[in-house]
Structure 1
Amino acid sequence: MLVIYERVLPVILLAEDNEDDVFFFNRSLNRIGVTNPVQVVYNGEDALAYLKGTGIYADRTKYPLPSLCVFDIKMPRLTGLEVLQRLREDPAFNDLAVIVWSTSTYSKEQELANQLGAKAYLVKPTVPGELDATFQSIIQQWLPE
């Protein structure tokens, strides 16, 4: 009997309320050859529920725990920084790699993201192609193989 094991790639969780940014995120990953599954949530409350495995996200076969999270700063219900803060209050999520991305270049937000334990703070580029190199670096550094 031959048994073939399928390698399961680590999941990326994208918390982003802008459909255009979700499109550009996925397109960029595709262009740089990242085939990891991406789960998308559209507000901070859903990001927190997904990560804690509550409500509709309780089925971990359908909603596996991600290895990398990318949070938009300005989302409805809870901001990306609020989600990050709540995660860091729970020791179970201390090692979870979280990247914060925003259109804001405001240094106070960047400082707060770093203080809360974000692995990086990315400013969303105005030219979609610029995203490829940025994500290539982030993926290589923070997404396990």
Structure 2
Amino acid sequence: MQTQIHIEEATQEAGEDYAYVLGQLRAYNESHASHSFVRKRIHLYARNKKGKIVGGCFAAITFHTLSIQILWVEASMRRSGTGKLLLEKVENIAREMGTIWSTVETTSFQARPFYERMGYKVFADLADSPIGDTCYWLKKRLNKV
């Protein structure tokens, strides 16, 4: 006998349903992981002398891995060291928490050379994502196990 299931697309991410599903997944993960499910969201902002945001880095730490989700620097500030400062700061926060790895996803038209200069190594790629370009996943060891 097949159970009847109704699949619906949510109109917004946040809300009770989202929190419920996320809570269930976290509970499962925590009960099966060999290490603690340390989770921290990190938001860093680079500001100029006038207080204007000229860069930012958003990341999350889960299962001793730092996942860099966004690292952006205003076009006029690129190659000024701002990206390096943001990346070093987020990595240092992660190191202090005992994080082992840092990972980032970038594309062929974005910042792969920057991450490689910062010690990251490509461990996977996907051609034509987006079409005509390549998506890269890079990693860097922050601490030993």
TM-score (ref. length: structure 1): 0.31
Q: Which gives a bigger RCO, structure 1 or 2 (Cα 8 Å, sep 6+)?
A: 1
Greater CA radius of gyration, 1 or 2?
2
